[in-house]
Amino acid sequence: MELGLTSPVRVTFVKYGPMSDQGGRYVRLGETGHRLSVCGHATPREASSILWHELAHAVQVERLGGHRLFEQLWARELREAGISWRQLRESAYSVRAYRSMPLEREADRVAAACGRVRLVGRLGD
């Protein structure tokens, strides 16, 4: 699967807390490339799906012209979905509203379309 990324990608497996609903995160685009995180508790199938979703965000960042422009659009979409930063931090928001955001819908479509291609075989301890 060719996504057309021009910058390298670094993935870190993170052990989020047991109450976290976060499966992964697009961290940023820096001098060394894109940084993504994926939940270390995820199964290989879940981790692959999460990684495809986060890779879609990396494509969006490049298409929009950088991390700052991506974050500005994402923040606007968050506001339009009626989700505050506080709600986001506390995981006290409507998942349906979050999933309705255009950037998230696009990333979900990529994950669904590419989900059969496993990117993660097994996660180490």
Q: What pLDDT shows up at residue 18?
A: 55
Strands (E) located in the chain = 9-14, 24-30, 33-39
Q: What pLDDT shows up at residue 44?
A: 84
Domain that holds residue 83: 9-114
Structural domain count of the chain: 1
Q: What is the pTM of this model?
A: 0.87
Q: What pLDDT shows up at residue 54?
A: 94
Dist. CA 65–CA 59, nearest whole Å: 10
CATH of the domain at 30: 1.10.10
Residue segments in the chain with a per-residue pLDDT below the cut of 50:
19, 125
Q: To the nearest whole number, what is the mean pLDDT of the chain?
A: 87
Q: What pLDDT shows up at residue 15?
A: 80
φ and ψ at residue 33, rounded to 5 degrees: 120, -165
